[in-house]
Chain A
Amino acid sequence: MENVLVKVEDLKLYYPVAGKRIGTKEYVKAVDGVSFEIMEGEVFGIVGESGCGKSTLGRAVCKLEKPTAGKIVLDGEDISGYNDKQMRSVRKKVQMIFQDPYASLNPRMSVFDIIAEPLVIHKLTKTKEETEARVLDLLRKVGLDDYHANRYPHEFSGGQRQRIGIARALAVEPKLIIADEPVSALDVSIQAQVLNLLNQLKNEFNLTYIFVAHDLSVVEHISDRVGVMYLGNFVEVGDKKSLYANPLHPYTKALLSAVPVPDPTAKKDRVILEGNIPSALNPPTGCKFHTRCPNCMECCKTEAPKRYQVSENHYVYCHLYDDKIKS
């Protein structure tokens, strides 16, 4: 039977910011009560427009940022209350990959040192020879060559830098990799190379991914299951196939219909959404999407929707799916 690797319950992360009046505080509700589970070996995609809280959620799950509330169970271990010291052993199980590998790679360190660092910190190799062999092995695994080890990050292209970031993440043999927009800054031909690499490594090392991105086609390609976020909450979570073929939430429908399709003969039934995403400082009451929703009902303005299960592995947070309201 498959194991649950990640279990998140009602996770919240609020950023305090200075309020309008001096001395007061307000909160950006970046993640506002999110629950999900991820099975071992699964790729869980998180999509949504910028500012909806994808990156914050990714960072909160591995406690790079301290959650305001909620529970995180990783590999059977409840890490919700862990302090930094307790987190150290957990860091070996979870690694992150970022959009801008350049910003996350120390420019003064050679590629060798960058990849060797986690090995040394976590005491994963005993001798210099062992470290060296391991670094070269990792380089080859991500499609780089031995001679790249002595070079510095600025000597590499965007795609190659992302490979370095991936090699560093793999060094500690993690179980879970949280990838935050790992291909968003890359040209499409390079993006395809990196996506293929991530797929290949997943199979080879039996990895589990949380894959955060704003590009719906990329997320569909790489994920098994997908959660769609809007203003700090999931609005829909489901099996990739079910969610993309049969989107339920009006927001998911609008989002999917807005994706430009590389086929000029494709028919477009576009749902054009009015306006912009409201501020996470002062989100709308009720369903947070109601201000832009083409199907908004009276109850949507005041009541936050519950989670409705529509098919075996497909959930939606929307009053339209409440049997009582429907009839």
Chain B
Amino acid sequence: MADTRKNVLEVKNLHTCFFMDDGVVKSVDGVDFTLKEGSTLGIVGESGSGKSVTSLSIMGLLTGTTGKVTEGEILLDGKDIAHISNEEKRRLRGGQISMIFQEPMTSLNPVMKIGKQLTECILQHEKISKKEAWQKAEDMLRKTGVPRVERMMNEYPFQLSGGQRQRVMIAMALVCRPRILIADEPTTALDVTIQAQILDLMNNLKKEIGTSILFITHDLGVVAEVCDEVAVMYCGRVVEKADVYSLFENPSHPYTRGLLGSIPKLGEEADELEVIPGNVPNPKYMPKGCKFAPRCSMATEKCQEEEPGFFDLGGGHTCRCWLCEKGGGEK
């Protein structure tokens, strides 16, 4: 079963650190994944696991923080984008790569009308007339399913509801037909009925425009719904990677299993939920071996001492846990 889809985005051994007065925080500590053309890769994990920092590293948006990519490669269509100039990074954003966030106001200008924002974004990346750009903006906005498009083009962001702003941000992100859309918890702040609308919209636009999506979320339900592939993150690392079907059918890392066990599922009765004991370790006091070992009921002495690499479980399913060592050879 050879996968012939091209790799749009490859992240290899990515390390991102924050240099603080009282020490260095390794927020992303050796992350690898590949986003294939036309597919959606989910990055899932609890808060603080390094999902957002990973996406900011890809977008080149760490400037202005103490954060820095210290090691690794980020390849867009095979070309390195981790070590290019700020100017080149800026050109990529909004063109080849765009991003949507949980809070739409982080990417909308509060004092500029919607139409103007969309049009300016188009004109930055395409050489067309203002009138054509305006038309294009309207068409895109219409695709997102907002009501009364003509009027909204002349409104300010504060005049819209949360769900509408999210749609405007999606319009803004997709209007230049990016190769990659990075969506960082795009529906987390929304109600489920609005979330369903937005996920539907993203799926449709993905098919239409052919954009590949890196979908960051903490919600395994959303992952099951929109992703083709999944990477589970814990403590700045990817601990398990698989296509969405194998991940849910055969979750292999104890952390993945714990996460799945702790969510209440509709229509399933249980007196008690499975729990992952304890908390995520403080980044300043990371355990030595496997970072999950202190919370893992199956941890052995080896797990405390030595961090596992990835073990191949077949069919592209890999897992970073010593328990998987017997299953297949080390990669």
Which residue on A lies nearest to B249, using beta carbons? Answer: A265
Contacts of A265 in B (CB 8 A): 245, 248
A261 pairs with B197, CB closer than 8 A: no
Which residue on A lies nearest to B200, using beta carbons? Answer: A272
A264 pairs with B279, CB closer than 8 A: no
Contacts of A157 in B (CB 8 A): 279
Q: Confirm or deny: A23 has a beta carbon within 8 angstroms of a beta carbon on chain B.
A: no
Q: Confirm or deny: B259 has a beta carbon within 8 angstroms of a beta carbon on chain A.
A: yes
The verdict on A255 contacting B192 (CB below 8 Å), with A188-B262, A262-B221, A266-B224 known, is yes
A262 pairs with B260, CB closer than 8 A: yes
The verdict on A276 contacting B279 (CB below 8 Å), with A199-B272, A262-B220, A262-B260 known, is no
Residues facing A in B123-151 (CB within 8 A) are: 147
Docked complex Cα distance between A120 and B46 (Å): 39
Contacts of B163 in A (CB 8 A): 276
Contacts of B244 in A (CB 8 A): 264
Q: Confirm or deny: B15 has a beta carbon within 8 angstroms of a beta carbon on chain A.
A: no
Contacts of A133 in B (CB 8 A): none
Partner of B192, one of A245, A258, A275: A258
The contact string, 1 if C-beta is below 8 Å from chain B, for chain A 268-284, is: 10101101110000000
Partner of B262, one of A189, A220, A264, A275: A189
The verdict on A216 contacting B192 (CB below 8 Å), with A264-B248, A265-B245, A276-B163 known, is yes
Q: Confirm or deny: B218 has a beta carbon within 8 angstroms of a beta carbon on chain A.
A: yes
The contact string, 1 if C-beta is below 8 Å from chain B, for chain A 241-276, is: 000110000000011111111111110101011011
Q: Confirm or deny: A302 has a beta carbon within 8 angstroms of a beta carbon on chain B.
A: no
Q: Which residues of B contact A (CB under 8 A)?
A: 46-47, 147, 161, 163-164, 191-197, 199-200, 218-225, 244-245, 248, 258-267, 270-277, 279
In the complex, 21 of the A-B residue pairs with CB atoms within 8 angstroms, ordered by the A residue number, are A188-B263, A189-B258, A189-B275, A189-B276, A192-B262, A214-B192, A216-B192, A218-B264, A220-B266, A256-B266, A260-B195, A260-B219, A260-B224, A261-B266, A262-B263, A262-B265, A263-B248, A264-B224, A264-B225, A264-B248, A272-B200
5 closest A-B pairs by CB: A260-B221, A192-B262, A221-B264, A258-B196, A192-B273
Q: Which residues of A contact B (CB under 8 A)?
A: 49-50, 157, 159, 187-193, 195-196, 199, 214, 216-218, 220-221, 244-245, 254-266, 268, 270, 272-273, 275-277
